[in-house]
Homo-oligomer: A and B are copies of this chain.
């Protein structure tokens, strides 16, 4: 048992949300961060080398489902050369985007995550940012600069297009004092069709009174050419409290599915592991159906979406 650490997160919030004629009220799991339970460990192999593993499963804490949602699942070797792992792993795109979130990776409220999803991106701090059947390399930090490279196998190899669904991910992340910057690239092999190519560029600066991040990402796949811009910030307002603000714009170059999203949230730490929160999001849609709190709220395309939440996020 000393070989295993159990950890997890339970996040449950009361949610009120609306899009057109559709209204939702209830209790949702993962309103800020996805609820999960995981098992991890590390073994010293000598010579600065260690073996590591992590098995992490998503749970629907509102209805007791799980622990079966595929999150992380890998084994790897860590050493002076960096880390090499095999399995289902966070992609460079996931890790790059995660350096730019001001809403704790919220797939319900963070414009960066919600709009990336609506753009069809795999560069995203959510499920599609984790890659099955992958081999992954992460470098050590060189003066704040780190590199990552991943190859994921689509494993549709019985037919002619043996590389269909294969994913290539490359990323660089820089962190130094008040500065954060990241550049990541993903390519998903389209087989007989077009490849999907993605970019995310992001930069942030901590001014003390506020931490501000700017991102741009693009998804290009045949006739699809989508862009997402976001500006988000965090403002400390007390020892335990901070306000987060975010705006994002989704642009579909070849359809009328553009959207703008605005979010304001308040995060209040009750302790190191427990936080109370409240948040409000608004989405302006053209013909699309982007919405906050989509886990509960059904889509009503062409209408704006609104949502409010108050809840608790507990890590263990």
The chain A residues found within 8 Å of chain B, CB to CB, are 1, 3-8, 10-14, 22-27, 29, 37, 39, 41, 43-46, 49, 51, 53, 55-57, 59-68, 70-77, 86-88, 130, 132-135, 153, 155, 157-158, 162, 270-271, 273-274, 296, 298, 311-312, 314, 316
Contact = CB atoms under 8 A, between A and B. Distances in A.
The 6 residue pairs across chains A and B that have the minimum distance between CB atoms: A64-B70, A26-B153, A64-B73, A64-B88, A12-B86, A51-B274
Contacts of A23: 157-158, 162
A86 B14 contact: yes
20 contacts: A26-B133, A27-B87, A27-B133, A27-B135, A41-B316, A43-B271, A43-B273, A43-B274, A46-B271, A51-B274, A55-B61, A57-B66, A57-B67, A61-B75, A64-B130, A64-B132, A67-B68, A75-B314, A77-B312, A86-B311
A270 B64 contact: no
B25 A314 contact: no
A24 B62 contact: no
Nearest to A53: B10
Given A61-B73, A61-B88, 12 more contacts: A1-B6, A6-B6, A10-B53, A22-B158, A24-B158, A25-B155, A26-B157, A27-B153, A45-B270, A45-B271, A62-B133, A64-B88
Contact of A64 (B11, B59, B65, B72): B72
Contact of A12 (B7, B10, B56, B87): B87
Contacts of A132: 27, 62-64
A122 to B, nearest CB: 15
Given A12-B74, A51-B273, A86-B14, A26 B67 contact: no
A155 B134 CA distance: 38
Contacts of A26: 133, 153, 155, 157
Given A23-B162, A37-B39, A64 B71 contact: yes
Given A51-B270, A130-B64, A86 B13 contact: yes
